[in-house]
Amino acid sequence: MRRNHALKMVLFQLYSVGIKSILPVRSCHSVKAENFKVIKGLSGLSALDIVKEHGIPIQRVSLSRGLALNRFEKDFLIYPEYSDTDEADKMLQLLSSLNKDIKAAANQKDSLMAVWDNYKLSSYVVPKKYGGVDMCYKDLLTICEGLGSCWRFYFRFEQTHLASSLISLYGNDLQKLHYLPQIASGLIRPVVGFSRPEMEPNLKSVTSLCDSTNGKQNLIATNYFINVEDANLLLVFAKQV
């Protein structure tokens, strides 16, 4: 999708991803397990190597793979933020209700957006200081698991979370006070733009321009956005400044 956008505010943050080495593996065990063994000398081994060599269930080595396979023991320590079962039960009830409403409105766009607004999903990723719920990462992971049945919701939630985090980290006080409360209330619907060289073979020849017309600054560039049809705040990353 190509569009020329006149933006009131663009957050630029240079970043690069250059991780080539294998990330360290975190190993956990059940908090109630009576018979468990500590494995030493795991440096350099992948999760799959550990599983094969020691016969350990994958969910005890890799939390992400355990989540993908839905393999968790009821007493397995994966949610350290929960201090009692009441909090966990409350979140599971919310997730069950959310899933039920999403399925009921699956084929109706207006009904789906009504579900989003009724649950105030945008507020979950905004700090309490700015009118949000400020859910912990465990709660956010649980919500994402529930939204997995609806790609539109899942991606919108992730985009909103990313936008809120970027503004919280790199925005000034005025930007935080202006944007975060409106994101929490749903008045501002952000999306994050990204470049896709493989989608545009001549992307290198496309230049980003910034001109001024009638006292307004206009950013002219090639970017791609998902769920942009009802968005009213676009965040664009600059490769170079």
What is the count of structural domains for the chain? 2
Domain assignment present for residue 147? The answer is yes
148 and 164 in one domain? Answer: yes
Domain assignment present for residue 20? The answer is no
146 and 162 in one domain? Answer: yes
140 and 52 in one domain? Answer: no
* CB distance 180 to 132 below 8 Å: yes
Domain assignment present for residue 129? The answer is yes
pLDDT in tens, the chain (241 residues): 333 333 333 333 222 233 333 323 233 333 333 443 444 444 455 556 666 776 776 666 666 666 666 665 544 444 445 566 777 788 888 888 988 898 888 777 778 888 888 999 999 999 999 999 988 887 888 888 788 878 888 888 988 999 999 999 989 999 999 999 999 999 999 988 766 554 455 544 444 556 667 777 666 555 666 666 778 888 877 655 4
* CB distance 156 to 163 below 8 Å: no
168 and 57 in one domain? Answer: no
CATH number at residue 144: 1.10.540.10
Handedness of CA 97, 160, 106, 137 (dihedral sign): negative
Domain boundary among 15, 46, 77: 77
115 and 134 in one domain? Answer: yes
104 and 132 in one domain? Answer: yes
What is the span of the domain harbouring residue 55?
29-77
